[in-house]
Chains A and B, each alone.
Chain A
Amino acid sequence: MSQFLNFQFLAGHAHYLLFILLMMTGLFIVVDKTNLVKKIVGLNIFQVSVFMFYVSIGKVNGGTAPIFPMDAKYHVDKEAMIGVAYSNPLPHVLILTAIVVGIATTSLGLALIVRIRESFDTIDEEDILSIELQMTYDDNRKYGDAMGGLS
């Protein structure tokens, strides 16, 4: 039992649990909601969870922000530098790139939704699906002879 409910373990890995929670929330919204804008919001939450994950793995115990000290004394005095731990800046930098990618994806998605709204007059997936079903049905009536058609 203790294996399954190891509170110390859980507390030590709280950020992973939060990451998984956020990730699942995002994915659930993408899958469940029929409103296209809400899907994009879900996608954003999903991506943000990954950003959080990356930022959290860069954390070093007791580490400070990885900023090079501008203070000259600090810079020269090697003794003072010893024992100062910095968080790993690399995941943070990587995630800057991923954030840019996320913004591009969001804006492209929203632009597509605007165009979809213009041509389908709705942004609800169920409505769009029924319109498309009708279009496919019409196509089949018109061109479906090769397969015997629908009528």
Chain B
Amino acid sequence: MAVTAHVAETTARTLADHLPILLVLVPFCTAPLIVLFGSRRLAWPLAFIASLAAFVIAFLLLLTVREGNFVSYTLGGWAPPLGIEYRVDAANAFVLLLISGIGAITLPFAYVSVKDEVRKRDHTLFYAAWMLCLTGLLGMVVTGDAFNVFVFLEISSLSTYVLVAQGAARDRRALTAAYDYLIMGTIGATFFVIGLGMLYMATGTLNLADLADRIADQGANRTVRSGFAFIIVGMGLKVAMFPLHLWLPKAYTFAPSAVSVLLSATATKAAIYVVLRFTFSVYNPNFSFTTNTLEIIFAPLAIIAMFSASFVAVFQTNFKRMLAYSSIAQVGYILLGIAFLSETGLTAAILHIFNHGITKALLFMGAGALVLRTGGSFYTQAAGLGRKMPITCGAFVIGGLSLIGVPGTAGFLSKFLLVQAALEKAADNAMYLAVAVAIVLSSLLSVVYVWRAIEVLFLQEPDPNSTATEAPLMMLIPMWILAAAVIWFGFSTDFLYDTANQAALGLLDGSKGMLPAAILGGAQ
């Protein structure tokens, strides 16, 4: 029966059925095309078209799955446990939309920024590496095969190291930043592979749904447990989970501004998604070691990250460095939401992945515009520029407000939900009352560092010799699209909340949410 059904499937397939693989293939094929054409004028338009296509595909996928069903795509028609499966459900369609959206919107910004910050002869290869990075990030999220996650992780990581190193045209410290990132990123990825090896030893499969099915009753198996430890530590390096974040400030500070925008909004988010998928769907929260890891390791480290990274951010004198430390703190909020292990907490975490993505992209774009006009991102260089570049700095302020979580911006909703989740937990355990207070207090720290940036931009006297003018339109349009999105999602919360809630429910279903397609009778 399976065979006949399969034949019917393959003949009846239309382009719409191939969306999951097209999402990865479009940017993936654009990278070699850019290199083959080798033309500096063609590189950017090709990259932009591919990113837009990926965004449209991701949007279509999200529309298909946001009601709670999922799309399963089998590569080459090989049935899931043996063949590689791409699986899209609400959780990863949401992250895919963020990644492809940021990829598409950053490119117009990058057009000007890259011209200014990267050596001219590297432009073509820069966009090729950019496309590969996008491929890797999208692939990591869309795939339903554990080893595929590793392969795409490495595709995105290797191209990220190249992109970060391009900052060397402005500051040679970009090279050592890329080198440090390479060493730590490779150790992280290798840890992840060790974890996968242990899972494979215990189960003999690599398909995520099949894995979930087979380890469901192996909670006491030590191989399965140590596999979990390796996977979490390996991915933790990529997420920049608190004590494993050392590569992040340097990489974000010295990378070209456009790369900082892309990385801050997508790279850590894709890694967080993988952590979510492994903690909830493959390993499920019924295992005591999963729950313990979340409550004893994730939650305290997340709270430390929220405070220490915000505190360090207060004392920075460089926009990009300040934003990098703030990113570590915001990752703390997301991990805290995950550690709550409740529907509200998980919804808040998934929402914050999205909200922080667009907010941080907006802020890094603002910093990039300042770099373009003043040649650096130090506070003193930008003093008083709010009067000379009001449109740029206006968008920056909106981003800053969302970072704090002011009502009416996107950041408010996720932080509000996070506090609500903490209060829900406080009904059982009074300790969580302190956690709720900690969330609010650390938000106050972000008020301090955002205010310092606003003070520098608007309240200080501008340098009379400064020739800075308003940023070019190619930068302003993406910035204001993001700023509008931040405000729009601050008021119209239904779409985001429903999708994130659906994603959280799917994840909390644990292995049940990952039942092999054949059992559910879905498309084979």
Contact = CB atoms under 8 A, between A and B. Distances in A.
A120 B379 CA distance: 27
A43 interface: yes
B315 interface: yes
Interface in B366-398: 376, 378-381, 383
B193 A119 contact: no
Contacts of A87: none
A145 B381 CA distance: 10
Contacts of A105: 154, 158, 182, 186
Given A53-B194, A146-B317, A30 B187 contact: yes
Interface string A132-151: 10010001101111110000
Nearest to B164: A112
A62 B154 CA distance: 35
Given A91-B197, A116-B175, A39 B183 contact: yes
B162 A108 contact: yes
A24 interface: no
A72 B325 CA distance: 66
Contact of B186 (A47, A57, A135, A146): A47
B161 A119 contact: no
A83 B442 CA distance: 65
Interface string B191-227: 0011001001100001000000000000000000000
Given A143-B379, A144-B317, A145-B380, A109 B179 contact: yes
Contacts of B150: 98
A112 B165 contact: yes
Contacts of B128: none
Interface in A106-121: 108-109, 112-113, 115-116, 119-120
Query: Which of B165, B186, B189 is the most central at the interface, judged by chain A CB atoms within 10 Å of its CB?
Result: B186
Contacts of A109: 179, 182-183
B176 interface: yes
A139 B378 contact: yes
A105 B147 CA distance: 18
Nearest to B184: A30
B447 interface: no
The B interface is mostly helix, strand or loop, or mixed, namely: helix
B341 to A, nearest CB: 31
A47 B190 contact: yes
B183 A143 contact: no
- The contact size tier of chain A is 35 or more
Contacts of B200: 57, 90-91
B456 interface: yes
Contacts of B315: 147
Contacts of A139: 318, 378
B162 A53 contact: no
A120 B172 contact: yes
A139 B318 CA distance: 10
Query: Which of B154, B176, B379, B383 is the most central at the interface, judged by chain A CB atoms within 10 Å of its CB?
Result: B176
Given A54-B197, A143-B317, A143-B380, A30 B183 contact: yes
Query: Which of B178, B182, B318, B381 is the most central at the interface, judged by chain A CB atoms within 10 Å of its CB?
Result: B182
Contacts of B176: 116, 120, 128, 132
Given A57-B200, A57-B201, A36 B186 contact: no
B168 interface: yes
Nearest to A144: B317
Query: Which of B175, B378, B380 is the most central at the interface, judged by chain A CB atoms within 10 Å of its CB?
Result: B175
Given A43-B186, A54-B193, 14 more contacts: A36-B179, A47-B190, A53-B194, A54-B197, A101-B158, A105-B186, A108-B161, A108-B162, A112-B161, A115-B165, A115-B175, A143-B318, A146-B383, A147-B317
15 contacts: A43-B186, A46-B187, A90-B200, A94-B147, A108-B158, A108-B182, A109-B182, A112-B165, A112-B182, A119-B168, A132-B176, A143-B317, A143-B318, A143-B381, A147-B379
